[in-house]
Amino acid sequence: MDTRYENTTHSVRQLQHELATYLALIPALMWHIDAAFNEIVLTNDYKIPGLGNKVPLVLKDLTLAKTLVHSDDLGAFYGAMDSVRALQPATVAFRVGDEAGLWHWLFLKGQPVQNESSRYVGMIGECASLVGSIEDRGAATMRPDSLELLDQPSLLVEYSGKKVVAANAAARSFLGYGAVADFPSFDGMIEGASEQYRRSMYEHLIFNTTWRGPLAFRDASGIRRQCDVRLRAGACDGTNLLWVGIEPVLTAFSAPVLLEGDCAKLCQALDKAQTEVQALQALLEHQPEGLKAEGVMLSHIYASENRVEVTGVGEPFKGMVPHTCYPYIGSIAENLVQYSLSHMVVEETIRSIRPIDWALFIPGGIHSYYAEPYYEEDELAYVLIYCSTKGGAFSSGGLPACKDALLQLADRLKRLSND
């Protein structure tokens, strides 16, 4: 078979150049979303004549969209964007006004990426005929008897009751179970995933036969292990099965940590704190080694009431009223729970489609942040967020960085509430 491109640096660069050229020729704005981080990334730099940078802003900030989209089209546009945020296929035609008072008919098409449960691709242009196929569809299934041929931890799960019916040696070793009969149900192992997240996962399987995304497995010792998981639907002897491919997330100790001396200093500073603001100031002054945040924010989570209360210290939050309320829906906390994340790094807020980023962080000049949750009795109680006015200020690799700091902060807040 004749291959045009060799596996060389020159050929890869040539291919990248040609792909960039092709994208630049498409008369539409191409974009993709990483739903776990609520981040939208523009794939090309196409600007619709007369609208300039308005189109990307319409996608990112729904509050701004209300002032730009024709009032008659707002309902349809918001409905389509709800589908986009739910990672469902979306198609809509709507009008956006330019500075000259003219209305431009735009066409938006979005589609979830096959085998990538948290990723979504789309385009938006001025001509409906631009829309073509977003991606090739189709999924393969795995033969049940090939499980032991895989080095990757793999399970076979009965779809109806979620019972584990087969597990290869790698899966038994990774999760700590001696035999298949010892495994709990699949849903029992991923109990940390929200009901909404599991429902969307299984719905995606029904219509697409495959799914991929982050899941935390509880092993035999009760420890949650963060993994990248692939699911594929199959059948054996008339029984519907799921093949579960598990890729453990590497946790090389590259994240910032509180050194013993710093931990003692933080403990002393927190003991002196008489208010939540003073406690956060202590966290800002005694950060984990390697963090260089300019602001620290604490979010109290009240998910059942659809609200979070945030308090911030440091230059980006100067003048902020403590315990300012925002909706839980669209918050950092919602993403942490929905995707069972141990922590979250946003490298550039301007790429975000998360409402809280546009309402709070971007107006304050915050370009990147690190967020880590704190649970009490399996309920999310707090999210601690270190913020920077510089993009890419925090590393996305390694273990959670603020576990010790969060434990000390939670203990101090409890003592303050009892005083």
Domains of the chain as residue ranges with CATH: 22-130 (3.30.450.20), 144-248 (3.30.450.20), 260-418 (3.30.450.40)
Q: What is the dihedral of CA 264, 267, 268, 273, to 10 degrees?
A: 160
pLDDT digits (tens, 9 = 90+) for 382-415: 999 999 998 888 866 555 667 778 888 988 998 8
CB atoms within 10 A of CB 158: 17
More confident residue, 116 or 311: 311
pLDDT digits (tens, 9 = 90+) for 142-172: 455 667 777 789 999 988 889 999 999 889 9
Least Cα distance to 334 among 357, 363, 367 occurs for 357
Reply yes or no on whether the pLDDT at 316 is more than 90. Answer: yes
More confident residue, 199 or 270: 270
Reply yes or no on whether the pLDDT at 296 is more than 60. Answer: yes
Q: Please work out, in degrees rounded to the nearest 5, the angle formed at the alpha carbon of residue 200 by the alpha carbons of 196 and 206.
A: 145
Reply yes or no on whether the pLDDT at 83 is more than 90. Answer: no
pLDDT band at 10 (very low <50, low <70, confident <90, very high): low
Which of these ranges, 83-92, 126-135, 191-200, 275-284, has the smallest mean pLDDT?
126-135
Which of these ranges, 129-138, 187-196, 260-269, has the smallest mean pLDDT?
129-138
The predicted model scores a pTM of: 0.52
Q: What is the mean pLDDT of residues 217-228?
A: 82
pLDDT value of position 207: 67
Amino acid at 121: V
pLDDT value of position 304: 92
Reading the block at residue 18, the tokens are 């040609």
What residues contact 260, with CB distance under 8 A and at least 6 apart?
A: none
More confident residue, 46 or 380: 380
Amino acid at 223: I
pLDDT value of position 105: 83
Reading the block at residue 351, the tokens are 């790429």
